[in-house]
């Protein structure tokens, strides 16, 4: 996420991260690194901090 939404254009890469299915992520691109993600839900349910999730990206 830090590289996808980096302020400096030369640091931006990995744009595929914004194309999800079955997951919703609410974040603020202007917050500092490590504090951007505000809420995550998977299949309409809040992310469980004690559960492991598998993701796939190309």
Domain range enclosing 40: 22-47
pLDDT tens series, the chain, 58 aa: 666 777 777 777 666 566 677 888 888 888 888 898 899 999 899 999 899 988 776 6
- Cβ contact 40:23 at 8 Å: yes
Does any domain span residue 5? no
Does any domain span residue 38? yes
**What is the per-residue pLDDT for 45?**
94
**What is the per-residue pLDDT for 41?**
92
Does any domain span residue 31? yes
Does any domain span residue 34? yes
Q: How far apart are CA 3 and CA 20, in angstroms?
A: 17
Token pair 């999800």 in the structure block, residue: 20
Q: How far apart are CA 29 and CA 44, in angstroms?
A: 22
Q: How far apart are CA 50 and CA 35, in angstroms?
A: 20
Does any domain span residue 35? yes
User: Considering its fold, how many domains does the chain have in total?
Assistant: 1
Residues 6 or more apart whose CB falls under 8 angstroms from that of 10 comprise none
**What is the per-residue pLDDT for 14?**
65
Does any domain span residue 29? yes
Does any domain span residue 32? yes
Does any domain span residue 43? yes
């Amino acid at each position: 996420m830090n590289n996808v939404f980096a302020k400096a254009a030369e640091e931006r890469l990995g744009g595929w991260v914004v194309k999800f299915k079955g997951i919703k992520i609410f974040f603020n691109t202007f917050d500092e690194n490590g504090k951007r993600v505000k809420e995550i839900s998977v299949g309409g349910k809040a992310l469980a901090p004690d559960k492991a999730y598998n993701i796939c990206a190309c």
